[in-house]
Amino acid sequence: MYFTGGAGPMFDLADNTQAQRITREIYENGGLISADCHGPVALINVKLSNGKRLITGRKLTAKANSEEGRWARNNYPFLLEDKIDALGGIYSSAAKGEEHVVVDGQLITGQNPISAIPMTHALIAQLKLKNKTMN
């Protein structure tokens, strides 16, 4: 599963129960979950079958507060860095505009648009590794 960034996910994916269900099913069946920039908003409310939030205690990244402009601060329901911290995720970031990718098991996240390509490379590497262990 891959969730792309942009402003849309901030309004459409945080509370999307269908996306949450699909993400939970893929994750619990050993699949990889990836997201870049604002895409990790789709992960914040995913609850696993055991009731635990997917991101709790997990290392991940998303658009950093330092990268958000006035429009985002005035219009988004929250900033991702703050929300991930508040919900028990282990957030990290690089300097503003720098690439940053976090791989925590089946969860692969990128901080910003510049991180999309390296995050994709990390996803491909994890898929190859998964494929080797299945054969």
Which of these, 106, 119, 107, lies nearest to 37 by C-alpha position? 119
Are the CB atoms for 102 and 117 separated by under 8 Å? no
**Between the CA of residue 72 and those of 19, 59, 60, 67, 80, what are the distances in Å?**
23, 24, 21, 10, 11
pLDDT at 130: 81
Predicted structure pTM score: 0.94
φ/ψ region of 89 (left if φ > 0, alpha if ψ in -120 to 50, else beta) reads: beta
Which of these, 105, 107, 109, lies nearest to 64 by C-alpha position? 109
Structure token digits, residue 86: 């508040």
The architecture (CATH level 2) of 2-134 comes to 3-Layer(aba) Sandwich (3.40)
Q: Which ranges of 1-135 does DSSP label H, i.e. alpha helix?
A: 7-12, 17-28, 70-75, 80-86, 116-134
Written as one letter, the residue type at 117 is: I
pLDDT at 131: 80
How far apart are alpha carbons 33 and 106 in whole angstroms?
A: 6
Q: Where are the domains of the chain?
A: 2-134
Indicate the pairing of strand 101-104 with strand 107-110. antiparallel
**Mean pLDDT per segment of 10 residues, for the chain of length 135 residues?**
95 96 97 98 98 98 97 96 98 97 98 97 93 75
Please tell me what DSSP assigns to residue 10. H
